[in-house]
Amino acid sequence: DGGITQSPKYLFRKEGQNVTLSCEQNLNHDAMYWYRQDPGQGLRLIYYSQIVNDFQKGDIAEGYSVSREKKESFPLTVTSAQKNPTAFYLCASSTSGTGVSQYFGPGTRLLVL
């Protein structure tokens, strides 16, 4: 089955620690996205990538980093510079073209110990 997988489902971070969230897709999509979801604030775009080896900052990129070395993979690192990382993180992908839909993974909930 084609789809997007995110792991782990829950992740705990200690103070000062960097953590990496995994996102893999087998839909052969060019574009991938990372969103942060907080209660009552909807979805906010962290980073997006339209093609391998290229990515752009979204609206709230500070304290996060990404890489896009393979078409299938778009990992997100939450660095120690992100002072309020507790949130639900969603990865998505889409095909090329305008007006295309984004397909979402099941999400990773990050909690700070």
Summarize as ranges the residues that interact with another protein (CB under 8 A).
4, 6, 31, 33, 40-43, 45, 48, 50, 58, 90, 92, 94, 96-107
We find the least distance from the C-beta atom of residue 40 to another protein, in angstroms, to be: 7
| Cβ atoms of 61 and 93 closer than 8 Å | no
Q: Which amino acid is at 17?
A: Q
By three-state DSSP, how is residue 70 classified? Answer: strand
We find the least distance from the C-beta atom of residue 11 to another protein, in angstroms, to be: 15
Pick between residue 27 and residue 80 the one whose CB is nearest to another protein. Answer: 27
| 75/68 Cα distance (integer angstroms) | 7
